[in-house]
Structure 1
């Protein structure tokens, strides 16, 4: 099963970067069994409780505001509470920050989270694979997230650095 929580800022970024409204995308996803959307302020959602079993959580993109909140135990909305639950229950929490440059407070918050067991996964492109499109880069980052969540054992072979020095061809 997949549960989705999206901040108001996340909805704006969605529209700007994907040229499709969050509402339209959500309508398509809600047709799939096992998919649940929870409003950002629904602190009674199952994922707000440590007794609700999950395999982990990914926060992508993770704003520095959300990272700071999670690092300091502030859980004023469902997204932050679900992340807090993952930490306290020692479940995988993968944070994908997207801001740059970073200053020392950002780095200290990410270090604090890493020490608590969170995975900080920066969305770097694998240039050694010679991506041909933005979709190739996104596919690589998503594959890394799946491995970090322990949902996949390793990157697909075509996304691994090999003895051929990265001359792998992108496969769809």
Structure 2
């Protein structure tokens, strides 16, 4: 997601929860700090610590196109749904909502129980886009990278960065 936005020369402000930092290396085989060091070389990238409540994104006066929380833990989903803002990630999401900006959550959990679903329903009714990272099987992705690309492009459309999916990621009626 970040690489795609930076390649488009779109400013990115990143905040990672402590949990996200812990699983980053496990899932991506690269330490989070190493990834940030690579991104920070790009002038369109800024990073703030989870506890930095004085960061510009903690205020509605910083103009943004919106916010993507990817992946969104059920802890973050519940906190956002109930207006709890003990850290910068949750404060920025709360600011996004109060300023009527687009908020896109890519939930990270399966299966979901009733409270998870109720929290996501509450957020959806508030105008939040809930974008599960479901594989587009009808497009026959060849690998995980194809699924990730699809989810990233869907998120960019939901945020209003792109108007539509790239042609190769759209379903086209095939002759039967």
Asked if TM exceeds 0.5, the reply is yes
C-alpha separation in 2, matches of 1:53 and 1:29? 21
Is 1:64 matched with 2:57? Answer: no
Partner of 1:17: 27
Structure 2 residue matching 1:51: 3-state secondary structure: coil
Q: What's the TM-score, normalizing by structure 2? A: 0.92
Is 1:137 matched with 2:147? Answer: yes
C-alpha separation in 2, matches of 1:84 and 1:114? 14
C-alpha separation in 2, matches of 1:151 and 1:34? 15
Partner of 1:170: none
Which of residues 109, 112, 135 in structure 2 aligns to 1:102?
112
C-alpha separation in 1, matches of 2:42 and 2:109? 32
Which of residues 159, 166, 169 in structure 2 aligns to 1:159?
169
Q: How does 1:42-61 map to 2 (within 5 A)?
A: 42-61=52-71
User: Unpaired segments of 5 or more residues in structure 1?
Assistant: 166-172
C-alpha separation in 1, matches of 2:33 and 2:53? 21
Partner of 1:127: 137
C-alpha separation in 1, matches of 2:23 and 2:172? 35
C-alpha separation in 1, matches of 2:22 and 2:154? 25
C-alpha separation in 2, matches of 1:87 and 1:29? 27
Partner of 2:16: 6
Q: What's the TM-score, normalizing by structure 1? A: 0.94
User: Unpaired segments of 5 or more residues in structure 2?
Assistant: 1-10
Aligned length: 165
Partner of 1:147: 157
Runs of 4+ more than 6 Å apart: none
